[in-house]
Amino acid sequence: MFGKMLIANRGEVAVRVIRACKEMGIETVAVYSEADADALHVVMADESYCIGGPLAKDSYLNMDSLVTLAKRTGASAIHPGYGMLAENADFAQLCEENDIVFVGPDSGVMRKMGQKETAREIAKEAGVMVTPGSECLADAGAALAAAEEIGYPVILKARLGGGGRGIRVVRSAEEMTNAFDAVRKEAMSSFGDDGVFLEMYLENVKHIEVQLISDRQGNVVVLGDRDCSVQRRNQKLIEECPAPALPETLREQLYGAAKRLAERVGYVTVGTVEFLVKDDRYWFMEMNTRLQVEHSVTEMVSGIDIVEWQIRTAAGVPLSFTQEDVGVKRHAIECRICAESGANCMPQTGKVEMLHIPGGVDVRFDSALYQNCTVTPYYDSMLGKLVVCADTRDGAIRKMKCALSEFVLVGVENNREMHMRFMEDGEFRGGTYDTGLCRRVL
């Protein structure tokens, strides 16, 4: 097992990884930008170092600085968290070249599955259905030609990245040029690669993902599935495990498809395969080669510490459990608490003047917030994840309503009231909702 690990991230996920390392007896090295000098992860780690200015490109995305610091402090591994460099194959390769373990799949696998058009081909080879789509597009003219062949609406996607960035739905030829230019610009800004491709756009579908973990000995175990269909502008707001209103036969098909894909590429550590589901059909969307924000709901239901086992499998430790040991008998729901205005959902900043975190059995708030901390404009607006678990879905919804009513955050405008609206919405409570729910509720 690793003796010391550098966490190449910030905020909630850095805190989460530090906690796991402490429980495992691993020393931690935190990095921070000038804007994060007073951040919680800075004081929690055994060692902390400032690596640059407030902008992520000057600090958290500086690959050479991160690797140099890891070597200087004697850290034998780097955990990338999620976002930032978590799915950057060049960073994973740089770690490998410097004999530092990157906590994730190797750079070759990450490169294959990170390039979405390549991942689609691998999925087809593994017998997994994909939507009609294009190869990487040279320009808007090529995008127009591909869209004419596939049929509108289509969705333009950055070939790299995730988190809802680098995506535009195009409903007519007149929209294509502006949308293509916007996606290419956002892709280069967010991921350092302006490659764009397109797919047929499926409306009002369920967004279902399968959480898996695998070791270097070839064992692949599915830890469960999640419904992530409550989305606004391609950003997930609520996740639940397991997905409601999903036929068991279809659930088993999704599990089988995810395992085949992981085995096909020799995947190691934690990963998530995302699908679009409509009635009794499903289509592969992408594979996230990293820890996901919503891993918490799967932990609550499965009882398995996903971050701990991500670290263990990266160190070469074989899984101590099999598929038969994993049960999904309870239900968990996660609400992402974000710093945003209620009127136009724009990101907000401010100082936390008062903070009360809900408590009780099976209530969890993953966050880096604390009294008097300052929320800056430089990073993602998510403040934390409120997660509850109960024996039934109805029980989980009731528990979430109680937790939301108890949650108090003064000083930074946030979306607590929005989540309460979802918990009281009939379509959400029925479990049959799809990706169009936000348009109908908000």
Active site residues: 290
Q: Are 238 and 335 in contact (CB under 8 A)?
A: yes
Closest listed residue to residue 331, CA positions, set 394, 419, 273: 394
Please give the Cα distance from 85 to 96 (Å, whole number).
Answer: 14
Two tokens at 387?
């997660």
From the number of C-beta atoms within 10 Å of its C-beta (0-12, 13-18, 19+), residue 318 rates as exposed
Q: Where are the beta strands (DSSP E) in 3-138?
A: 4-7, 27-33, 47-52, 77-79, 101-102
Which H or E run includes 395? helix 393-406
């409570």: which residue's tokens? 429
- Tell me how long the chain is: 442
Q: Which residues pair with 224 in a beta bridge?
A: 211
**What residues have CB less than 8 Å from 210, skipping those under 6 apart?**
222, 224, 225, 254, 255, 257, 258, 272, 273, 274, 275
φ, ψ (nearest 5 deg) of residue 135: -85, -175
Residue appearing with tokens 């074989």:
318
Buried b (16+ CB within 10 A) or exposed e, 183-199: bbebbbebbebbbbbbb
Nearest 5°: phi and psi at 269? Answer: 85, -160
Name 263's Cβ contacts closer than 8 Å, sequence gap at least 6.
126, 218, 220
